[in-house]
Amino acid sequence: MDKYECVCGYVYDPAIGDADTGVDAGVDAGTAFADLPEDWVCPLCGASKDNFEKVD
């Protein structure tokens, strides 16, 4: 599954979820970026999903 990078540099890795950030937003490992809720925000900087770009 694709990784997505936030403008702040945080990389969302579906294999990990977001539990590694110290902010437990309850996203389980294995969740694709597209399946994250629309109101999900970057666990590091708080930016919304549209601030993320796919990592090549």
> Binding residue for another protein (CB under 8 A) from 3, 13, 16, 21?
21
16 is a contact residue toward another protein (CB under 8 A): no
Q: How many residues bind another protein, per CB under 8 A? A: 10
* Residue 46 contacts another protein per CB under 8 A: yes
Integer CA distances (angstroms), 5 to 2, 15, 46, in order: 10, 14, 13
The only residue of 1, 32, 34, 45 in contact with another protein, by rule CB under 8 A = 45
Amino acid at 42: C
Determine the Cα–Cα distance for residues 30 and 47; give it in Å rounded to an integer: 21
